[in-house]
Structure 1
Amino acid sequence: MWKGSGHATTPKRFADSHEKICRYIARESNSVVVSVGYRLAPEHKYPAAYEDCLNATIHFMKKAEHYGVDPANITVCGDSAGGNLAAAVSQTLAGRSDLPSLRAQVLIYPGLQALDFNLPSYHQNRGVPPLFRERAAFFALQYLNGHALHMQEVLEGSHIPPDMRLKYRKWVSPDHIPEKFKVRGYKPHKPHKPREFKAEDFEKAKRFCEPNLCPLLAEDAVIQQLPESFILTCEYDVLRDDGLLYKKRLEDNGVPVTWYHLEDGFHGIISFYDYCGLSFPSGKKGLDSVVKFIKGL
């Protein structure tokens, strides 16, 4: 019997690069890997991709034995947007009595919130390719609305009411980022003018407060039920702090977390461990850390 199954939530437009990753993980960890070709934004807005991944996961969990997989040994995995989807699926399935519990979740430089694009990593790495700060907000809005109107307001944070911002500050705040990650040229964000909440902006972006879209905002009762977790972050990545904040939330709620940080890594580096003759040793190290975690389950 196979050791288990990894469910890699990878978008179809990256099929070529992610096929190698999925094959590598399957071969090196002796696992069955199922890659979900979910519907893509902006043609298919939220929650299309989330629903596709959730439905595919539930279907596989119910049919796992047909594929020679132990239903008690299923892991969800994804990178970047796929990490967001894997986290959302894991939260949705937490506590479901009609399905086997997930064995683990593997989140590779995931994007987990769209409330604050002024966390330290968003400013330190705002110009680091391939994911610039503005592009992160652009992609989030494309996924939510199918367009990127109000991007400047979202970058400034005027799309969130003050009371709601205060509520989520306990989870989304530079105060929760370890000081060692702030030494590289970070200065607290000070808007050119006082942040002014705009109700019309919130109306267009209020679903950013839904955990299925921003898993970092899930309540503690949900977080406490999550399976053992692996989080990979990269120093030169705007999404670094999303991963660090989620790591803290999981640990604070008693969820075992394995964290692997690539000091010289950038967003998407796993895809370049061996891509069209381009190779980054750090990407290979990151990929092998995922394999090691899966093999140790």
Structure 2
Amino acid sequence: MKINNILVVSPMYKEIKSLIEKDDIHKDFRYLTEDEMKQEDLLWADAFVSFNVKSSYDFSHIKWVHSLGAGVDRFLFKRDWQEDVLLTRTICSFGQRIAEYCLSYILKDVQLHDHFHALQLKRNWGPITPKLISDQKVMIYGTGEIGQMTAKVLTGLGVDVYGVSLSGKEKDYFKEVMTVDSHFSQINEMNYLINTLPLTEQTENLFSKNIFNRLSSAGFINVGRGATVDEEALLRALYDNHLKFAVLDVFTHEPLPENHRFWNHPNIHITPHISAVTTPEEGVNCFLETLKNIEENKPLDNEVNVKKGY
């Protein structure tokens, strides 16, 4: 595939431009924000590079679309996609970043940070023995690159890690991998659930009372996509103590509206979609490597299966 005209649409297009120009790439580039982009720019382009498009664009005249993020639901979810348009995504340090993010909240819980902070505010000396992380069981939904790295980090600390995927195919670092339909027999034993799944029609509202009601005071961490969670079911699970806390980095609507009930809930911890940030350097490196592989007809590890949605 020959690529000549490349349209880069991003709020950080200036940083991206500076990094690309250092490599002296002999292509024609246009660097724009989404508000500046017009349909004529899309008609001009052979390739479209972006992260989080807000509108539904017609990419049928584009040869290649590259996402600067790991997720591609903004391009595919409930949208028609012409199968001869190549879609790739960014692969970089996302797995390590998300693994460390999840580990930090699990350690915070087993080491009783909130409990001891509350005692400190009361000037109360009340020793309680923290739990061991190696005594915990974690179920990770999604066994791809991000889920697998998270499993690797946790397994290295002695955690029993179980996986859930559409195929149920066994993967390294998981004690067992199950399908969504078969995992219910063990879910009640879990101390923590971690969601790394992409948003597809199969995963939309997957985390509902059907899952939450089987738990007993578990922790829930969502670093996948917000729309995979039934928000009312999550709140009810916290109220009924099926969940003791929820760590939410992703939401159906972002930024999270100021009047949303999640903000003031004492057992919900909110972060602004920062568990796996694409730095300009990592984004450009992956884009340039993908461009090189495309033009040399090499295999693409980051090609998206548009039928599956990831």
**TM-score by structure 2 length?**
0.33
Which one has the largest radius of gyration? 2
**TM-score by structure 1 length?**
0.34
Could you say which structure has the higher helix fraction?
A: 1
Higher relative contact order (Cα pairs below 8 Å, separated by 6+ residues): 1
